[in-house]
C-alpha cells in the first residue's frame, strides 16, 4: 500500500474555468466495477492537450466537476490483485486510450475503440467527456485499469528521467502525430501538408521527417507556432494572408498538390485569409480534398464531435459539416479518422527517443509547470502560446 491517501487534481469548473482542488485518492474500482487488474500511479508528468481545451472552452457536453487529464506518465505505487507483470516502482507511460486487451477491437490492435471500457460507445480515455467516466490524471495520483495490457514500462527509470520531457509525449501527441502521418501514407520522399501548428501538428511534422518526407509544410494562423515549425526545418504557410492555398503550395513545391495531408486542427477550425477570425468547421477537410493528389490519403487526428453546443450553426451542433465530399470521391481519397491507437506506436517511438533519433520535446517546445500553475498553463495555451505544457505534480522533474 502507498503511504498517501490525499490527492489533488485539475478540475473543470464550467466554460473557461479550471481549478486545482482536493480530489479523492484513487481506488482500484470505477463505480461498482472492481479493477483488480489496475494499478495506482504517482504521477510524474501529465500534459495539457488541445483535446482538453475543447472541453474547457465549453465546446462539449462535459460537466462541471470533471477531473481532467489523459496524458500521463507515472510510478506504480500499488498493484491490484490480478496484475501479474507490472510491478511497484516501475516508471510507465500510460496510453490515453483505455483498453481491455480482451475484446474484438483490442485483439485487432484498435485500442482507441475498445468495446468494454465505456458503456456509452466504443473507446475510452481518462478525464474526458463521453469517454467512460474514468478519473483524469492531471493529479498527484491516478488509477490505470488493465495495467499489464495498457502500460509501457521504461527499461531504465534513471535513464528515462533524463529524457522525461520527451518520453512524457508518448502518452498521446507523439503517437498521435505519427499515426496521422502513417495513415496519410507518408514515407520516404513524400510531400506533406500539416494543417495546424499546435502540439499535435508539430508532433506530426517531426513524425513526417522521421518517416523520411522530402518536404513538410505546416499551416496555421499563429506566427509564434509557425516560427516553432521552422525551427526544425519545416516550410510554413501563414493562413492569415489572403490567397489561393494551391498557389502557396506551388510556390514551395513547384506543384499544386501534396502527396499526404494531415488535419491536426479538428472541428474548431478557423477560416483562412481575410476571414481568419471566423470559425469554419469544415474548412480543413475541404482543403484536404483540394490539396491532396488523386489517390492520396488524408490523416485526420484533429477531433470532430457528435455534439457541439457552441457551434456556428444548427447542423454543426450535431457534428454535421458542409463538406464537398464529391471532390474527395472523385479523387479516390481515403480518410482516416478517430482516436490514435497509442499502443501501436509507443514502444518504437520510445526507442527513437532513447536512441536520440528524434527531439520531440524541443520540436513542440515543452514547458514544465507545477500543478498549481495548471490554470495559468491552460490560459496561456488557449491564448495560442507555442508551447506544450507539462504538469509536474510532485516536482519530480524540476527537482
Ligand atoms: N485523434 C487523437 O487521438 C487526438 C489526440 C490528441 C489530440 N487530438 C486533437 O488534435 C487537435 C490538435 O490538438 P493540439 O493540442 O495541437 O491543439 P491546438 O488547439 O493547440 O492546435 C490547433 C491549431 O490549429 C490552428 N488552426 C485553426 N484553424 C486552422 C486552419 N484552418 N488551418 C490550419 N490551422 C488552423 C490553431 O491556430 C491552432 O494553432 C485537437 O482537435 C485535438 O483534440 C486528437
Ligand atoms: Zn491529448
Ligand atoms: Zn478492449
**How many angstroms separate the alpha carbon of residue 146 from the centre of ligand 3?**
10
Q: Which CATH number fits domain 173-337: 3.40.50.720, 3.30.830.10, 3.30.460.80, 3.30.110.30?
A: 3.40.50.720
Mean pLDDT of 134-151: 98
**How many angstroms separate the alpha carbon of residue 222 from the centre of ligand 1?**
12
Decide: 239 and 280 in contact? Cβ < 8 Å.
no
* pLDDT tens figures, 277-286: 899 999 999 9
pLDDT of residue 276: 84
Residue carrying the nine cell digits 499489464: 148
Does ligand 1 lie within 6 Å of residue 222's CB atom?
yes
What percent of the chain has a predicted confidence (pLDDT) above 70?
A: 99
Mean pLDDT of 340-355: 98
Nearest Cα neighbor of 56 from 303, 382, 389 is 382
Nearest Cα neighbor of 186 from 82, 292, 266 is 292
Centre a 10 Å sphere on the Cβ of residue 150 and count the other Cβ atoms it contains: 26
Dihedral over Cα of 266, 276, 292, 312: its sign: positive
**Dist CA 60 CA 18 (whole Å):** 15
Q: At 398, is the pLDDT very low, low, confident or very high (cuts 50, 70, 90)?
A: confident
**Dist CA 199 CA 197 (whole Å):** 6
3-state secondary structure of 197: coil
pLDDT of residue 195: 98
**Dist CA 164 CA 97 (whole Å):** 20
**How many angstroms separate the alpha carbon of residue 122 from the centre of ligand 3?**
9
Nearest Cα neighbor of 29 from 75, 107, 81, 89 is 81
Centre a 10 Å sphere on the Cβ of residue 68 and count the other Cβ atoms it contains: 27
Mean pLDDT of 12-37: 97
pTM: 0.98
pLDDT of residue 4: 73
User: In this structure, which ligand is nearest to the CA of 137?
Assistant: 2
Residue carrying the nine cell digits 484498435: 110
- Specify which residues 195 forms β-bridges with: 219, 263
3-state secondary structure of 153: strand
Does ligand 1 lie within 6 Å of residue 197's CB atom?
yes
User: What residue ranges do the domains of the chain occupy?
Assistant: 8-172+341-391, 173-337
Q: Where are the beta strands (DSSP E) in 223-329?
A: 235-238, 258-263, 292-299
Q: Could you give the count of Cα atoms lying within 13 Å of 349 in the half-sphere of its Cβ?
A: 32
Mean pLDDT of 364-375: 98
Which of 2-6, 202-206, 278-282 is modeled with the greatest confidence?
A: 202-206
pLDDT of residue 3: 61
**How many angstroms separate the alpha carbon of residue 101 from the centre of ligand 3?**
5
Does ligand 1 lie within 6 Å of residue 76's CB atom?
no
**Which of 54, 175, 200 most suits a substitution to test ligand 1, by most atoms within 8 Å of the C-beta?**
200
225 CA closest ligand 1 atom index: 39
CATH of domain 8-172+341-391: 3.90.180.10
**How many angstroms separate the alpha carbon of residue 211 from the centre of ligand 1?**
21
State yes or no: pLDDT of 386 exceeds 60.
Answer: yes
Q: Whose CA is nearest to atom 5 of ligand 1?
A: 176
**Dist CA 109 CA 111 (whole Å):** 6
**Exposure string for 309-344, b = 16+ CB within 10 A, e = fewer:** eebeeeebeeeebebeeeebeeeebebbebbbbbbb
Q: What integer best gives the mean pLDDT of the chain?
A: 97
267 CA closest ligand 1 atom index: 41
**Which of 198, 261, 299, 385 most suits a substitution to test ligand 1, by most atoms within 8 Å of the C-beta?**
198
Amino acid at each position: 500500500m502507498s503511504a498517501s491517501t490525499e490527492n489533488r487534481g485539475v478540475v473543470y469548473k464550467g466554460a473557461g474555468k479550471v481549478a486545482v482542488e482536493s480530489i479523492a485518492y484513487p481506488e482500484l474500482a470505477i463505480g461498482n466495477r472492481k479493477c483488480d487488474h489496475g494499478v495506482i500511479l504517482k504521477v510524474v508528468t501529465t500534459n495539457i492537450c488541445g483535446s482538453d481545451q475543447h472541453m474547457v472552452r465549453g465546446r462539449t457536453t462535459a460537466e462541471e466537476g470533471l477531473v481532467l487529464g489523459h496524458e500521463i506518465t507515472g510510478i506504480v505505487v500499488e498493484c491490484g490483485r490480478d496484475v501479474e507483470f507490472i510491478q511497484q516502482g516501475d516508471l510507465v507511460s500510460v496510453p490515453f486510450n483505455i483498453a481491455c486487451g480482451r475484446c474484438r477491437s483490442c485483439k485487432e490492435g484498435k485500442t482507441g475503440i475498445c468495446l468494454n471500457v465505456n458503456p456509452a460507445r466504443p473507446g475510452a480515455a481518462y478525464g474526458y467527456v463521453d469517454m467512460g467516466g474514468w478519473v483524469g490524471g492531471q493529479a498527484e495520483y491516478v488509477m490505470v485499469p488493465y495495467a499489464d495490457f495498457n502500460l509501457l514500462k521504461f527499461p531504465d527509470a534513471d535513464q528515462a528521467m533524463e529524457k522525461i520531457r520527451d518520453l512524457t509525449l508518448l502518452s498521446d501527441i507523439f503517437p498521435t502525430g505519427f499515426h496521422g502521418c502513417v495513415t496519410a501514407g507518408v514515407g520516404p520522399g513524400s510531400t506533406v501538408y500539416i494543417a495546424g501548428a499546435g502540439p499535435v501538428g508539430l508532433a506530426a511534422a517531426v513524425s513526417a521527417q522521421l518517416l523520411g518526407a522530402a518536404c513538410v509544410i505546416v499551416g496555421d494562423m499563429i506566427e509564434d507556432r509557425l516560427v516553432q515549425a521552422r525551427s526544425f526545418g519545416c516550410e510554413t504557410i501563414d493562413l492569415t494572408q489572403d490567397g489561393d492555398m494551391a498557389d502557396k503550395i506551388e510556390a514551395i513545391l513547384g506543384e499544386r498538390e501534396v502527396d499526404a495531408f494531415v488535419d491536426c486542427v479538428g472541428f474548431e477550425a478557423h477560416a483562412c485569409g481575410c476571414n481568419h477570425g471566423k470559425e469554419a468547421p469544415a474548412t480543413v477537410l475541404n482543403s484536404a480534398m483540394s490539396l491532396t493528389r488523386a489517390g492520396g490519403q488524408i490523416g485526420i487526428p484533429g477531433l470532430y464531435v457528435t455534439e457541439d453546443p457552441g457551434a456556428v450553426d444548427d447542423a454543426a451542433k450535431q457534428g454535421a459539416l458542409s463538406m464537398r465530399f464529391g471532390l474527395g470521391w472523385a479523387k479516390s481519397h481515403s480518410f482516416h479518422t478517430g482516436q490514435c491507437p497509442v499502443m501501436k506506436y509507443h514502444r518504437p517511438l520510445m526507442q527513437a527517443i532513447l536512441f536520440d533519433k528524434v527531439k520531440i520535446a524541443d520540436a513542440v517546445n515543452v514547458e514544465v509547470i507545477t500543478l498549481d500553475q495548471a490554470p495559468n498553463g491552460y490560459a496561456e495555451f488557449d491564448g495560442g502560446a507555442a508551447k506544450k505544457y507539462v504538469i509536474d505534480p510532485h516536482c519530480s522533474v524540476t527537482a
